[in-house]
Amino acid sequence: MNELKKKVKELSKQFMEFKKSFDIDGKKSELAILEKKALDPKIWDNQNNARRVMQEMGELKKDLEEISSMEAEISAVSSLEDVREIAKRLKKLELATYLSGEYDKKDAIVSIHAGQGGTEAMDWASMIFRMYIRYSEGRDWNVGVISETQGEEAGIKSVTFKVAGTYAYGYLKHEAGTHRLVRQSPFNADKLRQTSFVLVEVLPEIEDLDLPDIKIRDDDLKWQFYRSSGHGGQNVNKVSTAVRLTHIPTGIVITAQTERSQEQNRANALTLLRSKLWAKEQERKIKEKEKLTGEYSPATWGTQIRSYVLHPYKMVKDLRTDVETSDTDKVLDGGLAEFIEAELRHL
């Protein structure tokens, strides 16, 4: 009984500290503003904006209800098992306090690029792509491909996709960097041990209002239109719906090809361009200060963040937090929560 009292006291203290940092009054005010927006019929003029408002409302309501419920449960806790269960739920809620960056609530735009190594690396890129799809599905986020280049024999050379969900960028932003795979090659008759690399880039979806100082002028844009490359059969595009957009001042080139309408592909290309220009601005600021600041760190081949070993033993290890697991199948099937949450707490 003394042990139970001690644990309840510790849990109560931890909960009160969390409530203070969570700023419940501030969150209630934020919810009231969102609810007012949701009542305005004009909100549906912009489907993306309406969806984001509804998602944020849902997340805030869920968090506030969970806090209220947890507070009542702590006062009536009757066993150590109850304490452990509530502590797990509190730990999950605490993550919200780590997602306070300016763009953390935004949707994420993720790009995956196969490194050197031919088919082996392209297959690894497709495995990483599937891993993020599965992780996103587990959080009820939507994934939409913007552009994709298939490998000649297997896998993908590169893919850019949007992850739509509240805090998608906040959770995924630290996945940027090089991911290393060691395994027996399934593409080699001798089953030789092979090391492959992919580069992951993560950007927030940036809208016009987010970049008041960065203007995209029509005269600075060069548009090209072509037919999307398909896998054959009835789904092959018969018209030139795919777009290639070049931003002349910076030389940034964007492709968008997966939507059936040219208009939607153009919109996706402009969205990606805004995010790229935002990233370029962050890099400029970083160089001016001669040190890494803010929340954006450019993903480069030199920034290896995680190692996935499937042979001669099984191990996934994050090189920043030292979090590791031997359950490689779970990780590659989207079980990234332990790694992502550890990195959020680590910073």
- Statement: residue 169 has pLDDT above 70: yes
Lowest mean pLDDT among 8-17, 28-37, 287-296, 317-326: 287-296
pLDDT in tens, 245-269: 999 999 999 999 888 888 889 989 9
Tell me the mean pLDDT in the region 160-183.
93
pTM tops 0.85: no
Specify the pLDDT at position 289.
62
Specify the pLDDT at position 208.
66
Lowest mean pLDDT among 190-194, 235-239, 268-272, 337-341: 235-239
Specify the pLDDT at position 232.
38
pLDDT in tens, 276-306: 999 888 888 777 665 444 455 666 777 899 9
**Which of 96-110, 167-181, 184-198, 280-294 holds the top average pLDDT?**
167-181
- Statement: residue 146 has pLDDT above 80: yes
pLDDT in tens, 99-108: 878 889 889 9
CATH of domain 108-207+297-346: 3.30.70.1660
Residue 76: pLDDT band (50, 70, 90) is: confident
Specify the pLDDT at position 206.
86
Residue 347: pLDDT band (50, 70, 90) is: low
Q: Domain segments of the chain: what residues?
A: 2-98, 108-207+297-346, 210-289
Tell me the mean pLDDT in the region 43-57.
81
Specify the pLDDT at position 237.
39
Specify the pLDDT at position 47.
76
CATH of domain 210-289: 3.30.160.20
Q: Who has greater pLDDT, 264 or 127?
A: 127
Specify the pLDDT at position 162.
94
Residue 229: pLDDT band (50, 70, 90) is: low
- Statement: residue 182 has pLDDT above 90: yes
CATH of domain 2-98: 1.20.58
Residue 216: pLDDT band (50, 70, 90) is: confident
- Statement: residue 324 has pLDDT above 90: yes
The whole-chain average pLDDT of the chain stands at 86
What one-letter code names the amino acid at 113?
H
Reported as half-sphere exposure (CB side, CA atoms, 13 A), residue 206 has a value of: 23
Residue 197: pLDDT band (50, 70, 90) is: very high
Residue 238: pLDDT band (50, 70, 90) is: very low
What one-letter code names the amino acid at 77?
V
3-state SS string for the chain? CHHHHHHHHHHHHHHHHHHHHHCHHHHHHHHHHHHHHHCCHHHHHCHHHHHHHHHHHHHHHHHHHHHHHHHHHHHCCCCHHHHHHHHHHHHHHHHHHHCCCCCCCCCEEEEEEECCCCHHHHHHHHHHHHHHHHHHHHCCCEEEEEEEEECCCCCEEEEEEEEECCCHHHHHHHHCEEEEEEEECCCCCCCCEEEEEEEEEEEECCCHHHCCCCCCCHHHEEEEEECCCCCCHHHCCCCCCEEEEEECCCCEEEEECCCCCHHHHHHHHHHHHHHHHHHHHHHHHHHHHCCCCCCCCCCCCCCEEEEEECCCCCEEEECCCCCEECCHHHHHCCCCHHHHHHHHHHC
Tell me the mean pLDDT in the region 323-337.
97
- Statement: residue 192 has pLDDT above 70: yes
